[in-house]
Structure 1
């Protein structure tokens, strides 16, 4: 039986046409017309004033921290319940992470965030929040805390392109925001990311650093170090084609989530990741928890049927890499990790495939 993947790429049909245009222009290396077009498409869709196409979302987070002045020894707050790409950039700057646990929304807890700020050895410079699995955080409260404390807010919207809060796109609330176009994301360019902000000077500085910090002279002049972080014109062409169907992809993933809910909610021990009031997630992945059953056994049974699934993220404060790091936690994300599962959620998934997955889970329980 053909394998069902967790979140495979779903092409629009225009990708090869646009890639052919790139080859005809011979702008194969980084930069070119499609990089500019992709940045414009992201700005138009999200409402962000400025955007910078990069080779990864992690590069975007790294640039954001550097542009905002985070240096060695500074403290940076971060969601604990997330993928490590959200926090590796802190280590790149030789800064010190402080991890904050989740609340009932599964995203970062504003209440625990206040505690973390109080417990920090010195005032944190920035906060990186992750909009987990395409669901936005409690932004009103988080923004108020950051403003009161004078802390920069960086949104890791890698998983949440197309998600909104009060009708505004995720990634556009903080000082800077980052989207991911990795192979399994709702919009994919194979690999890539985008940094957005309302501050023109910050994006200009990030652009300068992302192209090896070359001074604007004819020869190669460098007064500070930079990085090779820009997106290639080839990948940007794929991104332009993907943007043309983004709304359809979000709508379909939400349909898939609702189908899972309809089929599995009658099972008493199952509950799904909630959607906070006044928000609409993109449901990048359909995620749920089991109150009694072992999710690893269900993952193994699905695998026998050639169906890919995986556990929820292992919290950062539980990772060996961060065993010495300060964390403000109450066991919420640890429990989610122990009880949760991510189900296949690709927008090309058929209703029949979703129902088959549900039937396997129901029969197992």
Structure 2
């Protein structure tokens, strides 16, 4: 029998989600409006400890809308971590503003607050308007948003919590920091609606502005009238139903990922030159477990392990390639220390899905143990 491929973070869907989805189909609410969408927004807002939530088509859409609602636009700069998925920077470009990049902290890979302060200070001295700072909760570890607020006083913070639903820091859940936050429900995220996202905020006026823009900016009159350019960004009621089913299982899914990370930690504890990124963060949702390998100490590189596992049909992935090294953003300004570059060279995301079956988990760990035995 041929083994099926082991994926990095495959969707974890059960009969619970099926029941929610079938009920939504039978209700007739199949458009981007309906009772499941309304309830999903309320449930996510409660989970994130925010007053408002707006269901949208992606985490990118949530970031875009938040920035627009804050007045970010042409001529402004927005500070973004260089170690992130491209959507964080792309959302800034959609507004006409300029993304500028800051490097990472070596411990968890999140943006370095000292560099945020330096970037904001330099830009202000040049007479530039800094429209926002967009920190990212990398791989499910909530960043130190209080430090960013101190580093950029008076500048709005928009939390990119796309990877961090269910995580927390200092007793506060991901999504509760800044003027607004963006969540992603993409297929590989800790909770999925197949595609989709959510904007969460305590600011009622900002939430209503985003909701308006997300529904093609249609005015509340019987005929179609538009005073603004809007976007087709609303989440469908069917996908919201899927998300509601997932949300009932979120704590269970996080617990599975956390136990998997603990097993990785035990496996690599005695391996010289290795560590787990963000190890020691009790509030992480463990969306992805990232192994960092120092080849000079370990005698092998992260890419060597990645190739070994790939040959056995086990998916891994390097950490995000820094934005300042992406061809589309290579000419943008960046405040760098070399940490993100080093994490890109030495980091490897290991299979982390909550739906990983026991036999596949054994297969992954046996493959890693066999690799280590050859070294």
**TM-score of the aligned structures, taking structure 2 as reference length:** 0.94
CA shift for structure 1 position 103? 1.2
Corresponding residue of 1:281: 284
1:301 to 295, 308, 320: 308
Please state if 1:260 is matched with 2:225: no
Corresponding residue of 2:338: 331
Name the SS for the 2:263 alignment partner. Answer: helix
Deviation digits for residues 19-74 of structure 1 (CA, Å, limit 9, x no counterpart): 11122121111111110111111012121110000110000000000000001111
Corresponding residue of 1:48: 50
Name the SS for the 2:74 alignment partner. Answer: coil
Deviation digits for residues 56-115 of structure 1 (CA, Å, limit 9, x no counterpart): 000000000000000111110001100001110111011011101001231100111111
Give the whole-Å Cα distance in 1 for the aligned partners of 2:367 and 2:241: 34
| Structure 1 runs of 4+ with >3 Å offset | none
**Greater CA drift, 59-68 or 351-360:** 351-360
Equivalent residues of 1:138, 1:276 under 8 A apart: no
2:133 to 123, 127, 136: 127
Name the SS for the 1:307 alignment partner. Answer: coil
Name the SS for the 2:186 alignment partner. Answer: coil
Corresponding residue of 1:358: 368
Please state if 1:230 is matched with 2:234: yes
Give the whole-Å Cα distance in 2 for the aligned partners of 1:115 and 1:263: 39
Report the aligned-residue RMSD. Answer: 1.3
Corresponding residue of 1:12: 14
1:110 to 113, 119, 125: 113
Give the whole-Å Cα distance in 1 for the aligned partners of 2:280 and 2:129: 29
Name the SS for the 1:152 alignment partner. Answer: coil
Task: Describe the shift of the 1:326–1:355 C-alpha distance in structure 2 as closer, same or farther (beyond 3 A).
Answer: same
**Greater CA drift, 52-61 or 120-129:** 120-129
Alignment of 1:67-82 (within 5 A): 67-82=69-84
Name the SS for the 1:14 alignment partner. Answer: helix
Task: Describe the shift of the 1:33–1:357 C-alpha distance in structure 2 as closer, same or farther (beyond 3 A).
Answer: farther
1:101 to 103, 106, 115: 103
Give the whole-Å Cα distance in 1 for the aligned partners of 2:45 and 2:279: 25
Q: Which consecutive unaligned segments of at least 5 residues does structure 2 have?
A: none
Q: Which consecutive unaligned segments of at least 5 residues does structure 1 have?
A: none
Please state if 1:159 is matched with 2:166: no
Alignment of 1:200-219 (within 5 A): 200-219=204-223
Aligned residues: 362
Equivalent residues of 1:298, 1:364 under 8 A apart: no
Give the whole-Å Cα distance in 1 for the aligned partners of 2:141 and 2:367: 23
